[in-house]
Structure 1
């Protein structure tokens, strides 16, 4: 667990962590650590969610690009107005189905927001408009989401991307989808823990 935390929380490679533990007479191969990340990071993130604190209802959402097997894919993430992580989602495409899947996941885990700040991505706007139409038709007009678009989104959600981008550059892009998903879940888990997003009672 300590080796896992070192990799997910800091800018250390598998081989560097292998070396740190070898100095302490604890021996494992760097490929073993890779398998630990894939196996345990998603499990730990899923357990954390069961005790995750509620987030504010003002969200900021953005997507960035990362490289998997030499191909650029898209990483969606939202944080609340305090910088607390709401949810994240990895997609091969940056389009309306991907945006819909992300918002369904985020709303499913954290409830409906009052406001969402996004860039001027047409797919994100279209999905939020669809959600608002459904709320209107269902009689939940007071629950409709206020949507604010900012052409050049430069806010706290982009700060959240830095660790993800840093790890991507360090490993020169992920070699597998499952490796990327597992590592991203672990990175966000460490960020949530650092921000105190867990109930202790």
Structure 2
């Protein structure tokens, strides 16, 4: 279901409110717009950035380039972890629009947050957002590039693939 991750990571963080308290949602997106990982944390310091890097590196190989905003905890954390220490790091200003890939990846989360009338629990939010990104990417199609018949055919194919994977997983657990 998931394509091979790109060699450029776009990292960004956004504030979400859980029961009236601000938390940070750290997000890594590759050059194709595929969400690599998310992590909900209370802090925005070097330790939090280090925890996020370690989490992403558990499942995805080291990139060639990392694009971030001007937050200084990214390079400090990156320097302490051996794998990404030599990776090229690019800082961008928010006005430069170079990190738009990461900024735009927050939109579905904001939409979902509004639909759910806000998130409530840190652990449930983390679990939901970790699953929500890959599922959404599986069904999100570049609608502006295809006609209706093509869209229906691809969506039907993806629904069949989804059905095969989920039903086969459920049936093996029941037996």
- Whether the TM-score (by the shorter chain) exceeds 0.5 is yes
Q: Is the 8 A contact 2:40 2:122 kept in 1?
A: no
SS in 2 for 1:167: helix
Structure 2 counterpart of 1:156, from 75, 82, 101: 101
Correspondence for 2:154: none
- Given that 1:59 and 1:80 are in contact with CA atoms closer than 8 Å, whether structure 2 keeps it comes out as yes
What does residue 6 of structure 2 align with?
Answer: 56
1:135 Cα offset (Å): 5.5
Q: Distance in 2 between matches of 1:135 and 1:190?
A: 29
Question: 1:55-101 CA deviation, whole Å, 9 max, x = no partner?
Answer: 01111110001011111100011111111111111111111111111
Map 1:70-149 to 2 at 5 A: 70-131=20-81, 134=82, 144-149=86-91
Relative to the length of structure 2, the TM-score reads: 0.71
2:112 matched to which residue of 1? 167
TM-score (norm 1): 0.62
Gaps of 5+ in 1: 1-50, 137-142
Residue ranges of structure 2 left out of the alignment (5+ in a row): 142-160, 165-175
Any runs of at least 4 consecutive aligned residues in structure 1 with deviations exceeding 4 A, and if so which?
none
How far 1:169 sits from its partner (Å)? 2.4
Partner residue, 1:182: 127
154-163 vs 185-194, which deviates more? 185-194
Q: What is the distance in 2 between the residues matched to 1:187 and 1:165?
A: 12
User: Residues of 1 paired with 2:45 and 2:138: CA distance?
Assistant: 31
